[in-house]
Amino acid sequence: MQSKDKRGDIEVSDPGSPRGGPVALDKRVQRAQTGLAPLGLTRHGRPMRCPPRRLFTIVPVVFLLGIVLPAKRAQAQGAADVYQLDPVTDTIVLGASLIASIGSQITIDSGELQAVAPGPIANIPFYDRWVAEGASRESGDWLSDLGVALAIGYGAFDVVRAGLSDGVADSGTTAVLYAQSALFNWAVANVFKLTVRRPRPSAYATEGGDGNRPEKNRELSFYSGHTAVTAGMVGTAGYLLFQREGPSAAAWSALVVGTAVTAFVGANRVRANAHFPSDVVVGAVVGASIGILVPHIHRRDPDLPVAAAPTATSQPLTATVRFAF
């Protein structure tokens, strides 16, 4: 049995007929098959086409330029010379962050949590309300995953670079700093999600529920873990890079690229109706703060030394605080 579509000669063979045979498709159907339809991504009932190829060339090229240009300069001091690790403290921090991250994620993914219906959209702050009233963009999910992968990929690149440039000790120190930044951000974000239980924008889509998302994820909007982990990696990378390079053009360009990747991740989390803009902003601020603090507290030379010495004035003792940046 064969049928023709009104748009053109699309012949469909009946699998149950004796003839069988291949299915002849026109160019429009062929484009759909080579697009994102096999992944189940559709828009308005039609298969989504692959994003422009420029997206997969320009973004990685710009990102690689941001990490390769600073790598060309010689490192004045290795990470092991500047940062000090404590076997007990850092092992506990890494282990606790890993257990908290995996444990909270297992709880989230287990289906044990039962979400309640969100309240009226009018209760949402005005700066977030427009997201709940808008449509979800399926591409936002995997594009935000791509941004996180780029940030983590840079961390792996920096670990390898440190090993090739300055030895195993520097590579290990750099790896610990990046691991603590990522794991601690992951754990803290999950704890906030499970504590606050803010409904995602997608929960408001159809009478408080979106059939494309599991129930367990409907109340995990605050704050964005994707954005926090990305900002944390960028914060750690920027701190390490400025320590090695100083305020050079290469360091600033890499920081700008990293900030753009963080913004890219946050924007796509909003496009996917997974988070409100405020969730993304908080995730970026908290993530970057943790990413900067991790290498900062490991510095061998304290940045806020306090020195007290007697002077020739009427005061018997003067305390001097020196800020070194």
| 81 band by pLDDT with thresholds 50, 70 and 90 | confident
Residue 5 has pLDDT above 50, yes or no: no
> What was the pLDDT predicted at 58?
54
Weakest-pLDDT range from 34-43, 226-235, 253-262, 290-299: 34-43
> What was the pLDDT predicted at 276?
93
What is the spatial distance between Cα 224 and Cα 278, in angstroms, rounded to a whole number? 9
Contacts of 134 (CB under 8 A, 6+ apart): 201, 273
> What was the pLDDT predicted at 176?
94
| 216 band by pLDDT with thresholds 50, 70 and 90 | low
> What was the pLDDT predicted at 76?
52
| 108 band by pLDDT with thresholds 50, 70 and 90 | confident
| 314 band by pLDDT with thresholds 50, 70 and 90 | low
* pLDDT, mean of residues 285-313: 74
Contacts of 324 (CB under 8 A, 6+ apart): 301, 303, 304, 305
Question: Is 243:82 a contact under the CB 8 Å cutoff?
Answer: yes
Question: Cβ atoms within 10 A of the Cβ of 317, count?
Answer: 9
Q: Residue 250: how many CA atoms within 13 Å on its side-chain side?
A: 17
Question: Is 307:236 a contact under the CB 8 Å cutoff?
Answer: no
Contacts of 142 (CB under 8 A, 6+ apart): none
Q: What SS3 state is found at 321? A: strand
Of 158 and 141, the structure prediction assigns the larger pLDDT to 158
95 burial (CB, 10 Å; 0-12 / 13-18 / 19+) is exposed
What is the spatial distance between Cα 272 and Cα 274, in angstroms, rounded to a whole number? 5
Contacts of 113 (CB under 8 A, 6+ apart): 107, 194, 215, 216, 219
* pLDDT, mean of residues 142-157: 92
Q: Of 227, 229, 226, 208, which Cα lies nearest the Cα of 218?
A: 208
> What was the pLDDT predicted at 28?
41
Which tokens belong to 176? 């610990």
| 60 band by pLDDT with thresholds 50, 70 and 90 | low
DSSP code for 15: T
Strands (E) in 127-259, as ranges, are none
Amino acid identity, residue 241? L
> What was the pLDDT predicted at 113?
75
| 63 band by pLDDT with thresholds 50, 70 and 90 | low
> What was the pLDDT predicted at 112?
77
> What was the pLDDT predicted at 15?
46
Span 176-214, pLDDT tens digits: 999 999 999 999 999 999 888 888 888 887 544 444 444
> What was the pLDDT predicted at 39?
40
> What was the pLDDT predicted at 59?
52
> What was the pLDDT predicted at 182?
95
* pLDDT, mean of residues 128-140: 80
Beta-ladder partners of 46: 43
